Structure 1
Amino acid sequence: MPIERLSDLTDAAAVPRLVLKVGSSLLVGKDRAVREAWLEILAAEIAAARGRGQDVVVVSSGAIALGAAKLGLAGGGRGSLADAQAAAAVGQIALASLWADKLGASDLTAAQLLVTIEDLEDRRRYLNAAATFGTLLGKGVVPVVNENDSVATEEIRFGDNDRLAARVAQAAGASAVVLLSDVDGLYDRDPKAEGAELLPRVDGVTDEIHAMASRASGSGMGSGGMTSKLQAAEIAERAGIALAIVNGTHDAPLARALGGDGIGTLFLPKRSDTARKAWLGGRQRMHGTLVVDAGCAAALLRGGSLLAAGIAAVEGAFGRGDPVGVRDANGRPLAQGLVEYSSEEIARIRGRRSDEIEALLGYAPRTAVIHRDQLVLL
């Protein structure tokens, strides 16, 4: 059954498995106290989803906020990397206990999974996570996922749980993601601007959609904004997964957003890549970049592999098998994939025909710098 509107996300036939992302500002109020009553209602809504036959995975922020409150750290625990990691170490215990208690009150069992984005970008670890989700969900458990902020470094400063939720949806085999936010959804301009209109449905994220994103955040507690939510939607759409941005500040937020006509923005996928290509397309961290000429760019858009002859420049240091981005001479991102040569080798063979490569490198060349099977268009 196809997904066409927000209310379809409550239909077990259309969405047998759902990922729900909850941000820090929804769990913890400005007074640093847990919003106990709100969370109890949300846990009951999750139980209702389970009752109608839907598996639910929760991606929950809040460890740093909870830990900072316990430790009395200024700035919500984000004053320094050391503060954030210490707050996360304390807060992860509190966060897991909180979810276990609230879900337990509705006779649901919670499981904690701590991951980094790297765990979902390494293919072997990704497949292991997918197997874990399958086992837990098969036993009726509600997995509660968070970034492992107590050991992460770059993730704390630049990561966000919006994109993590989309990656978790891929690994868990979910049909849809719901991002609970502090606004009703995506507006055609800053929602505070006069005449701003809520977009109820988006069929594929485009440059025009990105231009509508506002970086404003009402709480100052979380790390994601509308831009990160649109990036999450792009990750989801490559895997054929629907994504909704809805307002989570209200009591019973799922009923308000998904009931009746629905209040929020539903992003419908415009493509459905294979599982491997969806995984490749969802990667966030490239080890380098290949700049290609116009002829190569056109060939890639027609579904071709990336050949050395079309490479104009190499940026960064990387080895064979590493993920790299591909962009045209104007700086427009085109694709990303896994390279068959190191950056040093590509610097030597760029611009050369395939029949010249063996003489340059001293061994028989592979068929392409990035084979089309290891490349995904953006």
Structure 2
Amino acid sequence: MSVFAPTACPRLIVKVGSSLLVAPDGTVRRGWLASLVADIAARARAGQEIAVVSSGAIALGARRLQLPKGGRASLEDAQAAAATGQIALSQVWAELLGAEGLTAAQMLVTLDDLEDRRRYLNASATLGRLMTLGVVPVINENDSVATAEIRFGDNDRLAARVAQAAGAHGVILLSDIDGLYDANPNTNPHATLIPRVERIDARIEAMADGGSGSGMGSGGMVSKIAAARIATAAGAHLAIVSGHVDHPLAAYDTSGRGTVFVAEKTAPARKAWLAGGLTAKGDITIDAGAAAALLGGKSLLAAGATSVSGGFARGDLVAVIGPDGRTLARGLSEYDMADAIAITGKRSSDHAAILGYAPRAALIHRNHMAVL
């Protein structure tokens, strides 16, 4: 039996990919979507709270505007397609949910809405209130204003971040593939499905394929594993499940076929938010001794830093890079970049003379840091 029983999950996030919702000719696959909405309605009647992260706005808008390359030929085309398609997407969700007696709500978010702590808490409060009222929030990235540099880029990671904000217990990514395989199943007939992942390590990451099978969406297995990191760090299980069947949630309940990434022990909310951050204003690289100290629950001291890069101010989110080049932690810097560079590799007793003011206890205090 799977560790993740979606029907027993009090609050669930369901992500729907573009290739499932939109046909190759740019029209909505209404029959399939109605079957998914019927599944959602059945769960809602049983007392489960569900939010949907729905792709498809760009694909729908591109058809209406007759844009080349599915609306992705340029940033401007994508933004125009999103603005046009989003209204059609929200209408079809509202209509189908309404036919099942459910009220839909639309939330469009940007990366900054969930990376800025205050805005994140506002979004969290809105999601929580909607779901306790029995409303089904339908969430998408606000692609009409997102830029190439400041955006989620895929709805897999957005779904995981939404799960964290909503305090959800599970995430289901309905996809064009039925889970993580140890090799690419499109090219290797002997590829084996991995049913359960307890820990995301280098071996699991090596199995990922960055391509989107349909060519319509923006996500691939790399984005799904990144989403799993965010969700599991926040205490939510995440399942990758095929959406290529009618009633896909009911089908998963019956078959259990997919890949489940098992949730970690729930971290304090602030540390879970830090761990799930997708943007960092800079990097602090550390030596092996400092890496061991962080893994032991210690703060990051300047003496253990070997280099600093980026452009951050005090209080900004920075990534801590281990000696092997992998991101070890994320945290809020106690110093701006210039002062952090000045004290890099120096003992705490030397800081006052270098900086000209009483130094702080650490480059990043353990209370403001999440080890990944």
Q: In which range does the TM-score fall when normalised by the shorter chain?
A: over 0.9
Q: Does residue 58 of structure 2 align to residue 64 of structure 1?
A: yes
Report the Cα distance in structure 1 between the residues aligned to 2:298 and 2:151, rounded to whole angstroms: 37
* Contact in 2 for aligned 1:117/1:155 (Cα 8 Å): no
Paired residues, what number?
371
Query: Equivalent residues in 2 for 1:173-212 (5 A)?
Result: 173-192=167-186, 193-212=188-207
1:264 is the counterpart of 2:261: no
Please say if 1:222 is aligned against 2:220: no
Moved more, 347-356 or 177-186: 347-356
Query: How does 1:1-378 map onto structure 2 within 5 Å?
Result: 4-6=2-4, 8-11=5-8, 15-154=9-148, 159-192=153-186, 193-259=188-254, 261-378=255-372
The CA deviation at 1:10 is: 1.1
Aligned to 1:154, the other structure's residue is in SS state coil
1:149–1:156 contact (8 Å) kept in structure 2: no
Following the alignment from structure 2 to structure 1, what is the Cα–Cα distance between the partners of residues 348 and 89?
55
Deviation at 1:213, TM superposition (A): 1.1
Whichever residue aligns with residue 5 of structure 1, its letter is V
RMSD: 1.4
1:215 shift after superposition: 2.2
1:134-180 deviations in whole A, cap 9, x for unaligned? 11112110000000000000268761100000000011111000000
* Alpha-carbon distance, 1:303 to partner: 0.8
Q: After TM superposition, give the deviation of residue 47 of structure 1 in Å.
A: 0.2
Q: Structure 1 residue 258: deviation in Å?
A: 2.1
Alpha-carbon distance in structure 2 between the residues aligned to 1:194 and 1:24: 26
C-alpha distance in 2 between matches for 1:157 and 1:165: 13
> Identity of paired residues, percent?
60
Look up the SS of the partner of 1:163 in the other structure: helix
Give the distance between the partners of 1:281 and 1:164, measured in 2 at CA: 14
Q: Give the residue type in structure 1 aligned to 2:7.
A: T
Task: Classify 1:156/1:122 alpha carbon distance in 2 versus 1 (closer, same or farther; 3 Å).
Answer: closer
| Aligned 8 A contact 2:2 2:256 in 1 | no
8 A contact 2:6–2:253 mirrored in 1:
yes
Question: Unpaired runs of 5+ in structure 2?
Answer: none
- Closer, same or farther in 2 for the Cα pair 1:156/1:345, shift >3 Å? closer
Higher mean alpha-carbon deviation, 264-273 vs 347-356, is at: 264-273
- How far the C-alpha of 1:200 sits from its partner, in A, is 1.4
Maintained 8 Å contact 1:201/1:268: yes
Query: Aligned partner of 2:73: which letter?
Result: G
Is contact 1:324-1:338 (8 Å) kept?
Answer: yes
Amino acid of the structure 2 residue aligned with 1:129: A
* Residues 158, 53 of structure 1: alpha-carbon distance in 2 compared, 3 angstrom cutoff: closer
What code does the residue aligned with 1:364 have? Answer: A
Tell me: CA distance 1:246–1:175, structure 2 relative to 1, closer, same or farther (3 Å). Answer: same
Cα distance, 1:207 vs structure 2: 1.2
Is the 2:60–2:85 contact (alpha carbons within 8 Å) kept by the matching residues of 1? yes
Moved more, 149-158 or 164-173: 149-158
Going from structure 1 to structure 2, the CA distance change for 1:66 and 1:105 (only over 3 Å counts) comes to: same
